[in-house]
Structure 1
Amino acid sequence: MRQWVASVAVGFVRACVVMVVSMLIPAVWAGAVALWIWWWGGNPWSGIAPFLWACIGTFALSRPVCRMIRSLVAKWMGTVIPAVYRQPGPVTQMSTGYWWNGYSYERTSRDARLDQQWRTRWRDPALWRDLRFTAIAPVTAGVIAAVPPAGAAAAVFGLFQSSPTIFVAGAVVAVASAPYAWRAVEPVAVRFLRPSTGMNAMTLADRVDELTAQRADTTIAQAAEIRRIERDLHDGAQARLVALGLSLATAEKLMETDPDQAKALMREARAGATTSLTELRELVKGINPPVLTERGLVDAVRALALDSPLETAVSTDVQLRLDPPIESALYFGVAELLTNAVKHAHATRARISIARDDTGVVVEVEDNGRGGADVLPGGGLAGLHHRLAVFDGALEVTSPEGGPTRARMVVPCASL
């Protein structure tokens, strides 16, 4: 008996919730009609505003209503209905200074993101799926869920009107339908909110857009890296090698007339050659550290920790040899995070952990700095995010004000 009473009470509450959520958009249109009747003054244009606001309200509420329905179905029945909404892709600044959002070039990042959000929303097939559901749900699940509240209202009406027949009939309808009326929302939601074949195509299209943006990022990064290498060679090793050649030419002329001066020039040339060799090694190390190539990611990170001004501890229980591009991305990711900890967070200690799980390689970097780190467009963390995204990786940064900052890099990899 107690269980039956509980099922009636719970079912009645759930039926009321389903009815209210399903009838939100019809209520907006009912309000528009009432406003139109009240506002009508003989001018046909005076009736446009209420229906315009009703259309705006429908578009604004369609997605929240569908999300609430999915949440209720998952919570009450355990049926998960994927949303599959199209997500805006990254916005990239090109070498021309314009911003590419996947659809058009804009002068500022704000304009590019605003244009991208509107285009993504309007071109998302899920928008029309949600609108279709908000039109169907009120006349299916909404009407059925309204039976218990309607019965209860009839019972109250009969009680106040001293009509036993209406009271009994309303109470019977409310009690008998309460445990079942709310369940109609599940088949309706599954039928009209589940992703269709078009949604799978949309997912593939989003992936193509994402790869296009990543290609643009990679092109820009490669161009910047080439310019950096050219600048380092021109300003460093090339200048020293030119000076070395002049010193050797002068020493050759002075060899017979002034041997002591020639020997001094040759000593300077030897010192210049040593310095040039050191600069070239540092340049090569910045492109691809030899320890990373020879000994792998773990030992390379340990060497990086030894060179860091922070008190850095490296912990790992695995020995990994990954594909060289993945090792390079993770290595330079750790280097970027340690640099940020020193330069921006003013940290004194850091902890690096390297592990693997069912998804792939997981590298965590934590420091005791002041926190407040955020992934900003054009920043170092955004560049690291794009570097990992090339391998379907992800970057998660948790950095509350006051610290600590914890960054987690995850890269799926089958070569473990």
Structure 2
Amino acid sequence: MMSWVTSACVGFARACAVVVVVMLVPAVWAAAVALGIWWGAANPWSWVAPLVLVCVGTLALSRPVCRMVRFLVAKWTATEIPAGYRQAPPVVRMSTGYWWNGFSYERTRRDALLDQRRRTRWSDPANWRDLRFTAIAPVTAGLASAVPPAAVTAAVLGFGRPELHMRLAGVLGAVVAIATAPYAWRSVRPVAVRFLRPSTAMALADRVDELTAQRADTTVAQAAEIRRIERDLHDGAQARLVGLGLSLATAEKLMATDPEQARALMREARLGATASLAELRELVRGINPPVLNERGLVDAVRAFALDSPLEVTVDADVRLRLDPPIESAVYFGVAELVTNAVKHARATRGRISLTRDAAALVVDVEDDGRGGAFAQDGGGLAGLRRRLAVFDGTLEITSPDGGPTRVRMMVPCESL
């Protein structure tokens, strides 16, 4: 009983919120009609002001109304509806001193931003989508959500009159309000999903921009990885191999005159060759760990956890096998998160969980460090988010000050 009362109260509040939001534009129209009627008898031009009020009010309120509906739907039902509004390009200062905003040149950055905002706002195709929604929502979700408030109003008016039929109308209104309150507001979700989604053309344009950015990030990451490999080879194995060659050449010259010194140089050369081989193996392991290729992601993560200075526990499905590119991206993502926990969070314990959720791989990395982690521009977490985005993956960070930190990676995939 209490749960039903709570559901009815929450539903009534939500229905009222939906009515207030979606009826803002019709309220402007009603105000314009009332203004025209009031001025109609005295002024033959009285229709001008109501027309201006309707046009300006509708254009000004359409986008805020749609944003508020998206916010309410996301908060109440966890359904994210992409906005799909056109994004303005960055404002760039040219060598001539003028500012280019993607449309025109302006003398100051402020003028360039104002002109860009105006052009982007009024040339956005999403304006027509928002206007369509403000016309459809009042007669669909608005009317359905208005049933509980209207029934409560009828109940209050009925109970306030002594006549029997009014009392019966009040009882009927109360019953209707209680019965419909938990469900009336739910009509806003399908209407918003149907009419507020970006159009196919806009979705494709956003996807092209996203793929272009991902390609640029991938190119930068590959160039940085190549530079790292070249630096490691130059400073490590290459230097040791050069020294090995010099030692062998010197030993060859001393073989006839000082065999003992030649043997000492050869022993040093053997040790140098062993160290070079170890460095090369470590470099190869950093590029693509052999255990990842041979035994898969789960065993590779467990092997990494054993070598970590943290006390890390790994929970995973041993049967999990994925495409090699996805396994590699997830493995190095886990390695980066654990390394960050050691270097920056001062953590002592960690936990790694690898599970399947429908058609997605879900990886949770937790530590008991001091928290405060966030994906800042140019940082490691932002780079990890971009690398996962190549596979349509996501990165969620929960890290309050004082800890603990929990990072969730989700990558759509099909298990092999």
Q: What TM-score do the two structures reach when normalised by structure 2?
A: 0.67
- Residue aligning to 1:245: 245
- Residue aligning to 2:61: 58
Q: What is the 5 A alignment of 1:343-358?
A: 343-358=343-358
Are the equivalent residues in 2 in contact too, given 1:141–1:185 (CA < 8 A)?
yes
How far apart in 1 are the matches of 2:412 and 2:382? 19
Are the equivalent residues in 1 in contact too, given 2:315–2:354 (CA < 8 A)?
yes
Summarize deviations over 1:181-213 as a string: whole Å, max 9, x none: x99999999779724897133223322222211
- Residue aligning to 2:383: 383
The aligned length equals 359
How far apart in 2 are the matches of 1:128 and 1:407? 39
Summarize deviations over 1:358-408 as a string: whole Å, max 9, x none: 223222211111111112222111121122222222222211221111122
Q: What is the 5 A alignment of 1:82-121?
A: 83-86=81-84
How far apart in 1 are the matches of 2:292 and 2:116? 40
- Residue aligning to 2:128: 128
- Cα 1:311–1:266 change in 2 (3 A) is same
Are the equivalent residues in 2 in contact too, given 1:310–1:347 (CA < 8 A)?
yes
Summarize deviations over 1:90-138 as a string: whole Å, max 9, x none: x99xxxxxxxxxx99xxxxxxxx99999998767644321123335666
Summarize deviations over 1:70-100 as a string: whole Å, max 9, x none: 689x98xxxx9984422789x99xxxxxxxx
The unaligned stretches of length 5 or more in structure 1 are 1-8, 35-49, 93-102, 105-112
- Residue aligning to 2:70: 67
- Residue aligning to 1:339: 339
Per the alignment, in what secondary structure is the counterpart of residue 391 of structure 2?
A: coil
Per the alignment, in what secondary structure is the counterpart of residue 294 of structure 2?
A: helix
How far apart in 1 are the matches of 2:140 and 2:314? 59
- Residue aligning to 1:234: 234
Percentage identity across paired residues of the two chains: 65
- Cα 1:281–1:116 change in 2 (3 A) is farther
How far apart in 1 are the matches of 2:297 and 2:116? 38
1:245 Cα deviation after fit: 1.4
Are the equivalent residues in 1 in contact too, given 2:347–2:369 (CA < 8 A)?
yes
1:397 paired to 2:397? yes
How far apart in 2 are the matches of 1:31 and 1:415? 59
Are the equivalent residues in 1 in contact too, given 2:25–2:58 (CA < 8 A)?
no
Are the equivalent residues in 1 in contact too, given 2:25–2:134 (CA < 8 A)?
yes
How far apart in 2 are the matches of 1:68 and 1:366? 30
Summarize deviations over 1:324-346 as a string: whole Å, max 9, x none: 11111111111111101101110
- Residue aligning to 2:94: none
How far apart in 1 are the matches of 2:123 and 2:18? 29
- Residue aligning to 1:329: 329
How far apart in 1 are the matches of 2:189 and 2:310? 54
- Cα 1:276–1:70 change in 2 (3 A) is closer
How far apart in 2 are the matches of 1:11 and 1:357? 31
1:211 paired to 2:214? no
1:410 Cα deviation after fit: 2.0
Amino acid at match of 1:85: A
The unaligned stretches of length 5 or more in structure 2 are 1-8, 35-52, 91-101, 104-112
Per the alignment, in what secondary structure is the counterpart of residue 411 of structure 1?
A: strand
Per the alignment, in what secondary structure is the counterpart of residue 257 of structure 1?
A: coil
**Greater mean alpha carbon deviation, residues 278-287 or residues 386-395:** 386-395
Q: What is the 5 A alignment of 1:1-400?
A: 20-25=20-25, 57-58=60-61, 61-67=64-70, 83-86=81-84, 125-134=125-134, 194-195=194-195, 199-400=199-400
- Residue aligning to 2:107: none
Amino acid at match of 2:65: S
- Residue aligning to 2:99: none
- Residue aligning to 1:97: none
1:357 Cα deviation after fit: 3.1
Are the equivalent residues in 1 in contact too, given 2:28–2:57 (CA < 8 A)?
yes
How far apart in 1 are the matches of 2:65 and 2:408? 35
- Cα 1:253–1:13 change in 2 (3 A) is closer
Are the equivalent residues in 1 in contact too, given 2:70–2:80 (CA < 8 A)?
no
Are the equivalent residues in 1 in contact too, given 2:298–2:317 (CA < 8 A)?
no
Amino acid at match of 2:84: R
Per the alignment, in what secondary structure is the counterpart of residue 199 of structure 2?
A: helix
How far apart in 2 are the matches of 1:264 and 1:281? 26
